[in-house]
């Protein structure tokens, strides 16, 4: 049996595809990796928020799946939209890398050391808002930063930014472990990751029984349940990539624990929820939905109404 893997062309995406290839080859599967350029790859200047459409790093790869040009898509799971695509299924994931974000700086060890007037770069609204909430009362600029991990680090080292916020998973996978230490980690529950951060999303056609059978063999079911809870939380809030939403689920004492968070767009307000549920994927989905329901207070509804208005403007 042979499987064609579709992936973005960045160094990180290719690392991820090779990681999946190694697992498939253990199952005696022949693998071909096919590189696909996405809208997010073609436009490296506009912010993700301004690009508007959901799935700027996923849609072309999903189209290749639907058109039978590939058999399996490998995504950074945080980039895979939660809205279902008819004919496709998020079927599996592998071991999860560290979920934390990292404060990376040449001059400063922690965000608290940043002086007034410092400039921080991030391409994530979730990171921007959580950092703004953490630095309330300080006059720190948090500016948009696009590009791959290497590009962002080069801009930091060139002095364009005093600090950048990056995912620990990407830094580790690309060999930049030296940029991480305990003082620089932005860890849950203080700083929540994006739903699915640190995990891979393995997507295939729903009717492709042969590929589904193979993915079932390599799927890490505990990780799969955790990210299902996080994605169900995001889906129920209908935030997509526009809303500053974080979520982190993990197994503790045979139960699944989910922390969820949504912030106002200016980072002034933060609303949290923690709930526990059963350990399997079906219970995880219900857990995520229940946690979102618990957060539907008037203040959060106001944020989500703003999200809906933004989405409508982007889609016109």
CATH number (domain holding residue 263): 3.30.160.40
The residues assigned a catalytic role are 79
Domain check: are 91 and 203 in the same one?
Answer: yes
Q: Count Cβ atoms below 10 Å from residue 147 Cβ, excluding itself.
A: 15
Residues 264 and 64: their CA atoms lie apart, in Å, by 36
Q: pLDDT by residue (tens digit) across 136-179?
A: 989 999 999 988 899 999 999 999 999 999 999 999 999 999 99
Q: pLDDT by residue (tens digit) across 286-314?
A: 999 999 999 989 999 999 998 888 877 76
For range 181-192, the mean pLDDT: 94
For range 217-242, the mean pLDDT: 93
Predicted local distance difference test score (pLDDT) of residue 44 = 47
For range 63-74, the mean pLDDT: 96
Where residue 254 falls (left for φ over 0; alpha for ψ -120 to 50; beta otherwise) is left
Domain check: are 69 and 211 in the same one?
Answer: yes
Of 42, 22, 40, 89, which is closest to residue 62 (Cα–Cα)?
Answer: 89
Domain check: are 138 and 80 in the same one?
Answer: no
Domain check: are 57 and 140 in the same one?
Answer: no
Alpha helices (runs of H) in 100-188, residue ranges in sequence order? 125-134, 149-157, 168-173
Buried b (16+ CB within 10 A) or exposed e, 202-211: bbbbeebeeb
DSSP state of 22: H
Domain check: are 227 and 306 in the same one?
Answer: yes
Residues 121 and 103: their CA atoms lie apart, in Å, by 10
Residues 259 and 275: their CA atoms lie apart, in Å, by 7
Question: What does the block give as tokens for 119?
Answer: 């400039």
Residues 149 and 305: their CA atoms lie apart, in Å, by 33
Domain check: are 154 and 40 in the same one?
Answer: no
Domain check: are 227 and 315 in the same one?
Answer: yes
Q: What is the largest CA-CA distance in the chain?
A: 59
If one counts the domains in the chain, the total is 3
Predicted local distance difference test score (pLDDT) of residue 243 = 85
CB contact at 8 A, 87 and 68: no
pLDDT > 70? residue 185: yes
Predicted local distance difference test score (pLDDT) of residue 256 = 98
Q: Is residue 194 part of a domain?
A: no
Q: Is residue 150 part of a domain?
A: yes
Where residue 79 falls (left for φ over 0; alpha for ψ -120 to 50; beta otherwise) is alpha
CB contact at 8 A, 291 and 273: yes
pLDDT > 50? residue 237: yes
Q: Is residue 36 part of a domain?
A: yes
Q: Is residue 312 part of a domain?
A: yes
Q: pLDDT by residue (tens digit) across 242-298?
A: 789 999 999 999 999 999 999 999 999 999 999 999 999 999 999 999 999 999 899
Domain check: are 23 and 89 in the same one?
Answer: yes
Residue with tokens 């939380």: 233
Domain check: are 268 and 311 in the same one?
Answer: yes
Domain check: are 313 and 270 in the same one?
Answer: yes
CATH number for the domain spanning 130: value is 3.40.190.10
Beta strand pairing call for 119-122 and 141-144: parallel
Q: Is residue 286 part of a domain?
A: yes
Q: Is residue 191 part of a domain?
A: no
pTM of the model: 0.91
pLDDT > 60? residue 219: yes
Residues forming beta bridges with residue 85, ordered by sequence position: none
52 confidence band (pLDDT: 50, 70, 90): very low
In terms of residue numbers, what domain contains 298?
A: 221-316
**Mean pLDDT taken over the chain:** 92
pLDDT > 60? residue 51: no
Of 24, 10, 15, 38, which is closest to residue 204 (Cα–Cα)?
Answer: 24
For range 218-225, the mean pLDDT: 98
54 confidence band (pLDDT: 50, 70, 90): low
Q: Is residue 230 part of a domain?
A: yes
pLDDT > 60? residue 48: no
Domain check: are 38 and 121 in the same one?
Answer: no
Q: Is residue 192 part of a domain?
A: no
Domain check: are 47 and 180 in the same one?
Answer: no
For range 49-65, the mean pLDDT: 71
């Amino acid at each position: 049996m042979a499987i064609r893997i579709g992936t973005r062309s960045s160094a990180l995406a290719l690392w991820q595809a090779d990681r999946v290839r190694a697992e498939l080859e253990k199952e005696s599967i022949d693998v071909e990796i096919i590189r696909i350029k996405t809208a997010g790859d073609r436009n490296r200047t506009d912010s993700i928020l301004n690009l508007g459409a959901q799935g700027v790093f996923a849609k072309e790869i999903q189209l290749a799946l639907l058109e039978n040009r590939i058999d399996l898509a490998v995504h950074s799971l945080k980039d895979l939209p939660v809205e279902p695509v008819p004919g496709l299924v998020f079927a599996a994931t592998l071991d999860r890398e560290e979920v934390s974000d990292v404060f990376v700086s040449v001059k400063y060890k922690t965000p608290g050391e940043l002086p007034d007037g410092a400039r921080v770069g991030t391409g994530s609204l979730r990171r921007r808002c959580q950092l703004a909430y953490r630095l309330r009362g300080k006059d720190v600029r948090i500016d948009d930063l696009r590009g791959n991990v290497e590009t962002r680090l080069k801009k930091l080292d060139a002095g364009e930014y005093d600090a950048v916020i990056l995912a620990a998973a990407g830094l580790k996978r690309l060999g930049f472990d030296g940029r991480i230490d305990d003082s620089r980690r932005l860890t849950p529950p203080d700083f929540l990751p994006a739903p699915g951060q640190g995990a891979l999303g393995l997507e295939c056609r729903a009717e492709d029984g042969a590929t589904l059978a193979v993915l079932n063999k390599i799927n890490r079911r505990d990780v799969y349940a955790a990210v299902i809870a996080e994605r169900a939380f995001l889906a129920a809030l209908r935030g997509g990539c526009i809303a500053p939403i974080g979520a982190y689920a993990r197994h503790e004492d045979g139960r699944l624990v989910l922390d969820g968070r949504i912030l106002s767009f200016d980072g002034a307000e933060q609303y949290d929820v923690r709930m526990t549920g059963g350990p399997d994927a079906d219970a995880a989905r219900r857990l995520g939905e229940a946690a979102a329901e618990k957060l539907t207070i008037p203040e959060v509804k106001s944020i989500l109404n703003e999200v809906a208005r933004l989405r409508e403007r982007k889609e016109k």
